[in-house]
Amino acid sequence: MARVVIVSNRVPIPNSRGPRAGGLAVALKDAVKKGGLWFGWSGRTTTETNGDAQIVRHDGVDYATIDLSESEYKKFYVGFANGTLWPLLHFRLGLIEFRREHLDGYRVVNDLFAQSLAKLLRPDDLIWVHDYHLIPLAAALRKLGVTNRIGFFLHIPFVPSSVFAALPRGDELMNDFCAYDVIGFQTVEHHRDFLDSLRRILRYPVDANGMILAPGRHVQSIVVPIGIDGVEFHKQAEQSVKSKNSRRLLDSLVGRHLMIGVDRLDYSKGLPNRFEAFNRLLTRFPEHKMNVSFLQIAAPSREDVTEYAALRPVLNRMAGDINGRHGAFDWVPLRYMSQGLARSTLAGFYRLARVGVVTPLRDGMNLVAHEYVAAQDPDNPGVLILSRFAGAAQYFEDALIVNPYDPDDIAEAMHEALLMPLDERTRRYQSMFERLRELTAESYCATFLHALENERATPAQIAPSEGHVLI
């Protein structure tokens, strides 16, 4: 098989203690086998950038990174990627801060990535580009004469064409998509919305197999949901629940139920509504007072983006209000941490929680939903509360599906989950765990790479199960 080259904004370079356990690193483990290359930004800014990649080899995989200047970082990462595209593609037009110089900076950095990467490429490499930071990368590589097969996967949602229309120079971005050979989406809905925008803006025909008939290039568009290694995470949770941290958590609960939320501190994750829902649970269903603790872990994220910094004081205040209003001298209802925890610790905490609360306002997939299900004890499983606007809701129908804009709806689901009898919890869990077995990280990589390798893949060839729908 050809060498696989992964390109993403950040590169999870393994440290001396072994591989980094971040979401993308875990999901792409099977794609970057020995001999592979992973390319991206180092996460560092410097005064002088020359675009030459620094390469570190670990376990047979080359990790190549480049630095950015402070100005490039601000325009590309803070400005266009996270100040315009992220809110746009999460349906938050009111949060967009578009500036032409940010878009120009976004293109400059994509050109820089292309120049640096092109020097490292071999003629038969399969190039797999990840996420909204790098939409123009294939077009930039094509300009440099790169003819390799190049695929792109969008981890976040796509929006209906009337929403995408708000993006200035959106037609340029649509053209950029057409420089790829394969484009993948998490759900049928994101895929459909993308094709609607493409048809409206560029007017290219799309055949029944999702093949975009662009001039001079046929682009295969597919739905390939990302997943985790559920069986492995299940084992990790079994071990982790016996750890010192899990025991400390369990002891601190003194027999109360635990509800858990785990998210990056991001406005798309719906945290204020979730806190309000917990407030309403305790107000409307006071039988839960003193009987439940809600642990919210919110790892800091993108703190240079104004909207992210603005979220912190809102949550701090809400947490204080809830605990002040409902708490007792021996019970803190809401335990809120704006710090991350180790992945292995999280695994045990998920297992201890009677309820997993995943209520983003929009999400491409949401892997926390997968992790919560994977971690459960089959003999006494917890209940997943899941936003209908997370991609995961398309796959986990047996979660309690809620509208994250309605705190009362979430509160009622919390109440139902806390009272749910064992037989119903078990039935829902078993059905979701079955789904988890199909939606693996391995099948995600294999399905995408199969499409990328095979120029004229047909739906029958690359849609082996319900989980990998092609439309």
Query: So which residues are the catalytic ones?
Result: 155, 363
Alpha carbons 157 and 88: distance in angstroms, whole number: 10
Nearer to ligand GDG, 367 or 383 (CB): 367
For ligand GDG, how many residues bind (rule: CB under 6 A)? 20
Taking CB under 6 A as the rule, which mask of x and - marks residues 183-222 in contact with ligand GDG? ----------------------------------------
**Residue 297 Cα to chain centre, angstroms:** 16
Nearer to ligand GDG, 9 or 49 (CB): 9
Decide if residue 371 touches ligand GDG (CB under 6 A): yes
Which of these ranges, 190-198, 281-289, 367-375, 423-431, lies near ligand GDG under the rule CB under 6 A? 367-375
Which of these ranges, 4-12, 46-54, 229-237, 365-373, lies near ligand GDG under the rule CB under 6 A? 365-373
Residues 322-341 that bind ligand GDG (CB under 6 A): 340-341
Nearer to ligand GDG, 309 or 342 (CB): 342
Binding residue (CB under 6 A) for ligand GDG from 195, 198, 367, 383: 367
Would you state the structure tokens that stand for residue 211, as one six-digit string?
């093949």
| H or E segment and range at residue 322 | helix 306-326
Q: Scanning the structure block, which residue is given the tokens 């980094």?
A: 20
- Name which of 333, 358, 348, 329 is nearest 256 in CA terms: 333
Binding residue (CB under 6 A) for ligand GDG from 135, 167, 262, 383: 262
Write the CB contacts of 243 (distance below 8 Å, at least 6 apart in sequence): 344, 345, 348
Count of CB atoms within 10 A of residue 201's CB?
A: 17
Alpha carbons 265 and 316: distance in angstroms, whole number: 12
Alpha carbons 339 and 318: distance in angstroms, whole number: 17
We find the least distance from the C-beta atom of residue 153 to ligand GDG, in angstroms, to be 8
Are 363 and 377 in contact by the 8 Å Cβ rule? The answer is no
Residues 22-61 that bind ligand GDG (CB under 6 A): 23
Binding residue (CB under 6 A) for ligand GDG from 29, 343, 415, 450: 343
We find the least distance from the C-beta atom of residue 223 to ligand GDG, in angstroms, to be 13
Write the CB contacts of 406 (distance below 8 Å, at least 6 apart in sequence): 273
Count of CB atoms within 10 A of residue 397's CB?
A: 12
We find the least distance from the C-beta atom of residue 264 to ligand GDG, in angstroms, to be 5
Taking CB under 6 A as the rule, which mask of x and - marks residues 293-312 in contact with ligand GDG? ----x-x-------------
Nearer to ligand GDG, 140 or 295 (CB): 295
Helices (H), 23-99: 23-27, 70-72, 86-89
Nearer to ligand GDG, 386 or 420 (CB): 386
* CB crowding 219-233: b at 16 or more within 10 Å, else e: bbbbbbbbbbbbeeb
Nearer to ligand GDG, 27 or 114 (CB): 27
Binding residue (CB under 6 A) for ligand GDG from 213, 231, 342, 419: 342
DSSP 360-379: -SSBS--HHHHHHHHHS-TT
Nearer to ligand GDG, 391 or 407 (CB): 391
Q: Which residues bind ligand GDG (CB under 6 A)?
A: 23, 155-156, 226, 262, 264, 297, 299, 340-343, 346, 363-368, 371
